[in-house]
Amino acid sequence: MSRFLPLIAFGLLVALFGFGIWWNTAHDQHDIVSPLINKPAPAFALPVLGDDTRKVDKQSLLGKPYFLNVFGSWCIECVHEHPVLSGEVKQLGLPLVGFNYKDDPQDATAWLAEHGNPFDVVIVDRDGRAGIDFGVYGAPETFLIDGKGVIRYKHVGPITPDVVANEFRPALAALAKESP
Partner 1 sequence: MRRIGLLALLCLLPLLAIAQAIQPLPFHDRAEEVRFQKLSAELRCPMCQNETLADSNAPIAHDLRRQIFEMMQAGKSDAEIKAYLVDRYSDFVLYKPPVEPKTWLLWFGPLVVLVLGGLVVAVQVRRRARTAPATTAAANDTEDDW
Q: Which residues bind partner 1 (CB under 8 A)?
A: 2-3, 5-6, 9, 29-30, 32-36, 102, 127-129, 131-138
* Number of alpha helices (DSSP H) and beta strands (DSSP E) in the chain: 7, 7
| Shortest CB 129 distance to partner 1, Å | 8
Q: How far is the CB of 132 from partner 1 (least distance, A)?
A: 6
Choose between 2 and 25: whose C-beta lies nearer to partner 1. Answer: 2
Quick one: 81 or 88, whose CB is closer to partner 1?
81
- Of 128 and 170, the one with the shorter C-beta distance to partner 1 is 128
Cα atoms found within 13 Å of the Cα of residue 153, Cβ hemisphere only: 20
In degrees, rounded to 5, the angle at the alpha carbon of residue 93 between the alpha carbons of residues 153 and 103 is 60
Show Cβ contacts of residue 97 under 8 Å, excluding neighbours closer than 6 positions. 56, 61, 66, 67, 68, 69, 119, 120, 121, 122, 123
Nearer to partner 1, 83 or 138 (CB): 138
Question: What minimum distance in Å lies between the beta carbon of 36 and partner 1?
Answer: 7
CB 90 within 8 A of CB 161: no
Least Cβ distance, residue 111 to partner 1 (angstroms): 17
